[in-house]
């Protein structure tokens, strides 16, 4: 790549960083402190899981971050932890993540000898069906394929290990403040679908509130299928026909051919240089316009070897179509033919010299997702606390001393204006 082309990428990548930083006071979210748990037996729902090995996890919903941290404790790497967090979010934050949706990840993992590899982008957006029928068009599910491809190529644990936590959570878990906030936005409209009402309706009337039990037995059964049969069981055999038939009952108009045609893709990330750091981000789609953009959620993990994965996923609308494919527990994402493309933003930074990890950032907040990611990156690389404009939210892992080597310098932050959690240390 010529210097001119490289600098053009650099300018496009950090334009929002410079612009937003110039407008905002030096105050706000910044880089948070390390958060460690109360003991080695910490359970889901407590403040954190005490780290037994070095590593960090951040997610927009606390229980997903705890799942990722526990995977690291159990010997998994960043790819294992990110896959587990993504599946957990499909249970605990179904408004923004789900088996019916999809997203993308930036990945930078060391090879078997511990040498840093080039970053890669993995894209698995909610797919567009061949036809646009049905009274509530749905996207083709892509999350399971995407996360299991991530785990298969880069993970160190059996694939079942990253599915088990979500399966257990689907059996019953308290509604988090993050999910309660999204439920309050959609209100009783979500309860018009009988399958959705069976999950999200409160016994006292209306939607579930924070602390209420969220039980999804059909989704737990689907995760059991995924755990025991892998991606083949989800996309091949009898289940695809069962799922598409159920989805059609919910107005989706999906086919088995749609499922077979929607595949994750490894591709080159957007690259740039910021001083002594190399930057790699999810490819930008250039979305613009006045129509409100879909919501998303972000999560990231850093392991002891400096492996890092940062992801953003979406349902293409808050709670997707608002309908569940009966008997499967899968909330259907909105068809990309019916809604604008979401802005999915995740970026990692690493030393241009020795290649050590420096920072990972995810940006969410609909139209402000790019500014959130850019401002979060600026804060991480310059130790300059600042906020992205609402509704933007930035989650950050920052290691000024680099990893491997500078583990003691690391901090992590879930945007304090959100309801997420950053957990890690040691």
Query: What secondary structure does DSSP assign to 66-116, as a single string?
Result: HHHHHHHHTT--HHHHHHHHHHHHHHH-TTT--TB-EEEEEEE-B-TTS-B
Q: Write out pLDDT tens, residues 95-112.
A: 999 999 999 999 999 998
User: For 240-296, what is each residue's pLDDT tens digit?
Assistant: 999 999 999 999 999 999 999 999 999 999 999 988 999 999 997 655 555 778 999
Work out the pLDDT band at 28, boundaries 50, 70, 90.
very low
pLDDT in tens, 360-384: 999 999 999 999 999 999 999 998 8
Residue reference for tokens 């990972």:
360
* Domain boundaries, given as residue ranges, for the chain: 3-425
Q: Tokens for 67, please give them.
A: 């799942």
Q: Average the pLDDT over 322-329 and give the result.
A: 98
Residue 314 to residue 299: CA distance in whole angstroms: 12
Question: Please, which pLDDT band fits residue 30 given cuts at 50, 70 and 90?
Answer: very low
For residues 72-93, one letter each, b for 16 or more C-beta atoms within 10 angstroms of the residue's C-beta and e for the rest, the string is bbeebbbbbbbbbbbbbbbbbb
More confident residue, 83 or 274: 83
For 374-424, what is each residue's pLDDT tens digit?
Answer: 999 999 999 887 677 899 999 999 999 999 999 999 999 999 999 999 999
Report d(CA 292, CA 339) in Å as an integer.
Answer: 9
Residue-wise pLDDT for 119-172, tens only, equals 999 999 999 999 877 789 999 999 999 999 999 999 999 999 999 999 999 999
Confidence band for 5, pLDDT divided at 50, 70 and 90: very low
Tell me the average pLDDT of the chain. Answer: 88
- Residues forming a β-bridge with 359: 349, 398
pLDDT tens digits for range 290-316: 577 899 999 999 999 999 999 999 999
């Amino acid at each position: 790549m010529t210097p001119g082309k490289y600098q053009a990428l650099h300018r496009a990548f950090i334009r929002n960083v410079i612009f937003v930083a110039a407008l905002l006071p030096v105050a706000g979210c910044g880089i948070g402190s390390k958060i460690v748990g109360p003991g080695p037996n910490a359970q889901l729902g407590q403040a954190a899981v005490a780290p037994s090995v070095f590593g960090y996890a951040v997610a927009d919903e606390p229980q997903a971050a705890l799942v990722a941290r526990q995977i690291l404790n159990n010997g998994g790497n960043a790819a294992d932890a990110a896959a587990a967090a993504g599946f957990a979010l499909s249970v605990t934050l179904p408004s923004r993540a789900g088996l019916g949706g999809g997203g993308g990840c930036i990945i930078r993992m060391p090879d078997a000898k511990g040498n840093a590899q080039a970053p890669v982008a993995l894209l698995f957006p909610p797919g567009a069906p061949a036809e646009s029928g049905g009274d509530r068009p749905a996207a083709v599910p892509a999350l399971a394929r995407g996360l299991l491809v991530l785990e298969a190529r880069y993970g160190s644990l059996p694939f079942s290990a990253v599915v088990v936590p979500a399966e257990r959570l689907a059996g019953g878990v308290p509604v988090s403040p993050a999910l309660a906030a999204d439920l309050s936005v959609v209100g009783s409209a979500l309860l018009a679908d009988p399958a959705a009402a069976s999950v999200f309706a409160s016994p006292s009337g209306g939607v579930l509130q924070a602390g209420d039990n969220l039980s999804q037995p059909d989704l737990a059964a689907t995760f059991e299928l995924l755990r025991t049969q892998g991606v083949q069981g989800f996309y091949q055999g009898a289940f695809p026909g069962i799922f598409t038939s159920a989805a059609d009952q919910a107005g989706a108009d999906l086919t088995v051919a749609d499922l077979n045609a929607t595949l994750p893709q490894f591709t080159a990330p957007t690259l740039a240089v910021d001083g002594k750091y190399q930057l790699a981000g999810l490819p930008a789609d250039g979305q613009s316009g006045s129509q409100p953009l879909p919501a998303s959620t972000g999560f990231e993990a850093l392991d002891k070897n400096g492996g890092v994965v940062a992801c953003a996923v979406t349902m293409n609308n808050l709670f997707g179509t608002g309908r569940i494919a009966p008997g499967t527990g899968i909330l259907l994402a909105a068809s990309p033919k019916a809604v604008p493309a979401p802005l999915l933003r995740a970026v990692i930074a690493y030393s241009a010299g020795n290649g050590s990890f420096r920072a990972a950032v995810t940006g969410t907040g609909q139209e402000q997702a790019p500014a959130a990611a850019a401002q979060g990156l600026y804060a991480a690389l310059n130790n300059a606390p600042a906020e992205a404009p609402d509704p933007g939210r930035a989650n950050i892992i920052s290691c000024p001393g680099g990893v491997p080597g500078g583990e003691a310098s690391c901090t992590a932050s879930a945007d304090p204006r959100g309801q997420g959690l950053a957990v890690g240390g040691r």
